[in-house]
Amino acid sequence: MNKFSNTYRFLPYIPELKRRNDWIKCVNQLVDEYNEDNISRTKAYQAFFLLHPEIKWSFLAAMVSRNAGWNMTDLKGEIFPGLLSRKTCDLLFKTYERANWSIFQDAFPQLLLYHYSTLYKKKMFHFLKDFHISHFMEEEWNRFWEERDERRLVQSLIINEQNLIQGPVIEHGIYKKKVFGTSLFFIEDHLHFSSVLFPTLYGDLYGASVHGFRKVDNRIKLGNILFELLFHPDYHCIFLEFASKVEHTGSRTDYERYCHGAPDTNTPVLKKAYGEISHNWGHHTDWSVDKTIEETWYKRQGLPEEVIMTKWYFHKQRQLKKLAVAKRAFKRIWPWRKKKKMRTS
């Protein structure tokens, strides 16, 4: 976290008296700077939480963002290139990247407006519409400013982010057909769309998963469960310890080196695995205009019976590795079998 150790360098002071458009431009520049890739996003979320620990969603976002980075580099590791075509791996990377870029592009301006509201000692949330933030979140930030309900704000941000990506990512024509609409069993159950891990320095992996990733209700439920786990008084300190001491590189070696008997996935660091990728919003829509906010989205979730996922996760990794080895062997045999069949016909 050296890059963000200095608060001023992380979030420089922007004079309130600047012209409106200039002020908005300065905030947008900060968003663009930290939305460069998964590494910069993760560090920015975590740095913001350390600066404003009352905004608990930011730490949740940082830990989920770590998982996104690991999922991305899985596609360049030893296992998944043996299971999936290069084209499929590239599309999956773009899916992860697009979803995480979109959430940051929407969420970080909200965090910045809160930060500068605290500096100016007055609400700045009327600027949210200038960053195309949903009317739903403008109401929720104003409510938080008055009531300081930290749990509700986390839940509202979870609701917002998952509805935000539903249309442009989950239901996007290409992603829906090529990724989320596929019948391949490992897309949902083995590519970790539905599972999030919280590592520790003591070798245990905590986490949660949910079935039916494509449904917004299920992703909101997962987010609420992860929040309860991440800030549970019995566990929070060990997750924060890991996050504070282990710099995020995108490689699963970030945590595998602490896990006794962990299968080595040999995933590369993200900076070496992928180059720069550009995004744009295209058409902005406010998802909350035509959407009913369900009461169940604010339901407090209990923890799963088993929150330690270490054995389960590494068992799954070993299964995938065996499957990848078997598939490579089949590919080597298949051309010989094909030629033999041609000779005998």
Residue 306 has phi, psi (to 5 degrees) of -120, 115
Cα dihedral value 105, 111, 113, 116, nearest 10: -130
Q: How far is CA 79 from CA 12, 207, 265, 301, 321, in A?
A: 42, 22, 7, 34, 6
For residue 189, name the pLDDT band (cuts at 50, 70, 90). low
Residues 22, 186: Cα–Cα separation, whole Å? 47
How much of the chain exceeds pLDDT 70, in percent? 86
CA dihedral for 198, 266, 43, 4, sign (positive or negative): positive
**Which H or E element spans position 68?**
helix 57-74
- Binned at pLDDT 50, 70 and 90, residue 175 comes out as low
Could you read off the pLDDT of 2-42 as tens digits, one per residue?
Answer: 444 456 679 998 887 678 899 999 999 999 999 999 999 99
Cα(301)–Cα(309) distance, integer angstroms: 18
Q: Is the pLDDT of residue 107 over 70?
A: yes
On whether the CB atoms of residues 120 and 113 are closer than 8 A, the answer is: no
**In the structure, what pLDDT confidence band is assigned to residue 185 with cuts at 50, 70 and 90?**
very low
Give 291-310 pLDDT, tens digit per residue: 999 999 999 999 999 999 99
Mean pLDDT of 43-71: 97
Q: How far is CA 263 from the centre of its chain?
A: 23
Residue 9, burial from CB neighbour count under 10 angstroms (0-12, 13-18, 19+): exposed
User: How far is Cα 209 from Cα 215, in angstroms, rounded to an integer?
Assistant: 14
Over the chain, what is the mean pLDDT?
Answer: 88
Q: Regarding predicted confidence, which is higher, 189 or 213?
A: 213
At residue 118, does pLDDT exceed 80?
A: yes
- Residue owning tokens 């509805």: 163
Examine the pLDDT at 1 and tell me if it is beyond 50: no
Query: Residue 180: is its pLDDT beyond 70?
Result: no
Cβ neighbours for 10, distance < 8 A, ≥ 6 positions apart: 3, 4, 44, 47, 51
Strands annotated E in 120-236: 195-199, 205-209
How many Å apart are CA 16 and CA 290, to the nearest integer? 34
Q: Is the pLDDT of residue 177 over 70?
A: no
Q: What is the pLDDT of residue 19?
A: 84
Distance CA 98, CA 164 (A): 12
Of 234, 236, 212, residue with least CA distance to 222: 212
Most confident of 161-175, 224-238, 251-265, 319-333: 224-238
Half-sphere exposure of 130 (CA within 13 A, CB side): 15
3-state helix, strand, coil in the chain (%, to 5): 65, 5, 35
